[in-house]
Structure 1
Amino acid sequence: MLTVNKTDLVRHHVPVTMADRFAFRLVGGLSTVASVLFSKRYGNRAVVLETVAAVPAMVSATLLHLRCLRRMVDDHGWIRTLMVEAENQRAHLMSFVAIARPSGWQRFLIVLAQGAFYNSYFLLHLLSPRTAYRVAGYMSEQAIQGYTRYLEDLESGVQTDIEAPAFAIDYWHLSPQAKISEMLVSMRADEAIHRDIQHAFADALVAGKLLPDLPATDLDAGSSIGLDEKRLDAS
């Protein structure tokens, strides 16, 4: 089990190269557009963003799988880790869908956003894997900030801290009386791990390596950087 503390939540990869700055500005622009379109209801904004957020890990897993096949090398469990991340992001989406049912117009936007982002990200990953991983890392950084703001609104009473959906309670093994705030704490901890994984892949490519160094967590034991158990403590 991994622990996500306050330092982990504010960790930020400072853009150094031109590719880093491109990735950072791209994610910032996407976040601004989402905020303008869905500023009144965070749940609706999250539904759209999570349909896009689940794309990078799936694309990365597919291309890493093919690359390892071409080079005939072991992936050391990283493909599975990326697949777990994609599944985890989908769980985020399903939790928000249970709170904010998307309208027909929003579903149309989701189709457009996902189609455009998937193809663009796939092409970016082919042209510059390092930049693609960095984009995904910055997306997780934005998600952490968004969940933190949402939690602050719940704590201040700006938004009502209603009961968490049954799906979220089951997925994160929350108490039966869990509130949305508890669900968000778990999601924010997940995103901190996604951020570190994606930035680690970008850093590895900068260093001329195919894969990041293996973490202390045993990937082959079924933990996949702690995401399989979904039990992360946030303090």
Structure 2
Amino acid sequence: MLSSRISARRWTSNHVSLARTAALARPNTLITGWPAVLPAACQYPSPPSPRAFSTTPIIHPRQFLRPSQNEYMQRTRLYRSPPSWRSFSTTPAVHLRDFFPPMETEQIRRTAPAWPHKGFSMDEMLAVQPGHREPRTWGDWVAWKLVRLARYCMDLATGLKDGQQVDPKNPTTAVVASKPLTEAQWLVRFVFLESIAGVPGMVAGMLRHLNSLRRLKRDNGWIETLLEESFNERMHLLTFMKMSEPGWFMKIMLIGAQGVFFNSMFLAYLISPKICHRFVGYLEEEAVHTYTRCIHEIEAGLLPKWSDPEFRIPDLAVQYWNIPENKRTMKDLVLYIRADEAVHRGVNHTLGNLDQAEDPNPFVSEYKGDQQPKAALKPSGYERADVI
């Protein structure tokens, strides 16, 4: 028995040395485990096992053919991902462009967006300001209180609550604070906000689509506007995802928030579409307020990375908004997004004032005169008598 063990050890030592020499002879090969094809020196039958009732060799060559730690580090150091700069992520660093790479095939060059952005002038974007529609009915009051509760929880979770200067009579005036957020904190807030902001438009558009099929009647332009709103919010999210990567905790929060919000909106829209549109209008008021504060902090130099003129926004945003060459700073991007939120604010407040079953959508209708409604410049929305 002893002689058999000594013979096995000598056999293993000799052939392992030959195998390691053959593997290290290829310096450009990245060794990550057992090679697909063994070197010729290792292609010998295993020695008979001295152990009774055993069908496996004593020693597995796999355990010895792995390179040493120093060799492995030297061979793989050029292939390792760079350390993550994201302070709020706990997931391994990955290339952000791999989240949603453009789909290019042998026949297709690229896929254009279903709803191309109509664009804004600089004067239109600068004219957007925070505004508030005072609740006038009990439904308005319910929607407003729900939004304020959601805003409080959001501020508490993302660190925006401390230091705000708020007028008690008009809470949406809190656009400055003594304790500014960092770029990473803003991105956390933006990603969470935009991940659920696209839910109401999709829910409302889906239910109105089914209602049109069920009643065998036209929808008069509501469905297109609601789905376009949802698409626009998703483009906001994709833009910020090009700049950040949420960690596992944030991803769990997004899944939970989306599930709760979708089902709540679904049931609420079946009960009262008016209240739902008012709720979204108030929610967009808060979004305009949030982006306005971010713009103020960029202008004040409190966000040095975003205030740097050399900072460039993702190409995805440039293509979607058709942003000019000299208007591609972070401040310009936030101006575009804030203008989008102002449009959603005016649209939903206006839709909340209309007859949900009969009135056409005024924002896609052709008017007899030249007075086409502009939702971005109407914080409280249009009254029914003004557009119908």
Q: Is the Cα contact below 8 Å between 1:48 and 1:110 reproduced in 2?
A: yes
2:206 maps to amino acid? T
1:115 paired residue number: 259
Q: Residue by residue, what CA displacement relative to the aligned partner does 1:65-110 show, whole Å, maximum 9, x if unpaired?
A: 1222233222222211111111000001111112232111111110
Q: Is the Cα contact below 8 Å between 1:133 and 1:198 reproduced in 2?
A: yes
2:348 paired residue number: 198
2:218 paired residue number: 74
Q: Is the Cα contact below 8 Å between 1:95 and 1:167 reproduced in 2?
A: yes
1:214 aligns with 2:345: no
2:24 paired residue number: none
Distance 1:171 1:195, change over 3 A: same
1:44 paired residue number: 188
Between Structure 1 and Structure 2, the one with more helix by share is 1
Q: Is the Cα contact below 8 Å between 1:125 and 1:132 reproduced in 2?
A: yes
1:17 paired residue number: 137
Distance 1:26 1:93, change over 3 A: same
1:98 aligns with 2:247: no
> CA separation in 2, counterparts of 1:94 and 1:16?
36
For structure 2, the residue ranges without an aligned partner over 5 or more in a row are 1-117, 160-180, 368-372, 378-388
Q: Which of residues 179, 183, 187 in structure 1 aligns to 2:337?
A: 187
Q: Which of residues 122, 135, 147 in structure 2 aligns to 1:27?
A: 147
1:222 paired residue number: none
Superposition deviation, residue 142 in structure 1: 0.8
Superposition deviation, residue 209 in structure 1: 4.9
> CA separation in 1, counterparts of 2:134 and 2:362?
23
1:127 maps to amino acid? I
> CA separation in 1, counterparts of 2:365 and 2:125?
17
Distance 1:164 1:126, change over 3 A: same
Distance 1:196 1:102, change over 3 A: same
1:10 counterpart SS class: coil
Q: Which of residues 191, 202, 206 in structure 2 aligns to 1:62?
A: 206
TM-score (norm 2): 0.53
For structure 1, the residue ranges without an aligned partner over 5 or more in a row are 220-224
Superposition deviation, residue 164 in structure 1: 1.3
2:242 counterpart SS class: helix
1:168 paired residue number: 317
Distance 1:139 1:153, change over 3 A: same
CA RMSD of aligned residues (A): 2.6
Aligned length: 222
Larger RCO, structures 1/2 (Cα 8 Å, 6+ apart): 1
Determine what percentage of the aligned residue pairs are the same residue: 31
51-60 vs 9-18, greater mean Cα deviation:
9-18
1:170 maps to amino acid? Q
Superposition deviation, residue 226 in structure 1: 9.1
The structure number with the bigger radius of gyration is 2
Q: Is the Cα contact below 8 Å between 1:201 and 1:211 reproduced in 2?
A: no
Distance 1:211 1:11, change over 3 A: farther
> CA separation in 2, counterparts of 1:84 and 1:49?
18
Q: Is the Cα contact below 8 Å between 1:51 and 1:93 reproduced in 2?
A: yes
Q: Residue by residue, what CA displacement relative to the aligned partner does 1:171-224 show, whole Å, maximum 9, x if unpaired?
A: 11113461111111111111111111111221113xx654355237659xxxxx
TM-score (norm 1): 0.85
Distance 1:18 1:122, change over 3 A: same
Q: Is the Cα contact below 8 Å between 1:203 and 1:212 reproduced in 2?
A: no
> CA separation in 2, counterparts of 1:82 and 1:216?
11
Q: Is the Cα contact below 8 Å between 2:351 and 2:361 reproduced in 1?
A: no
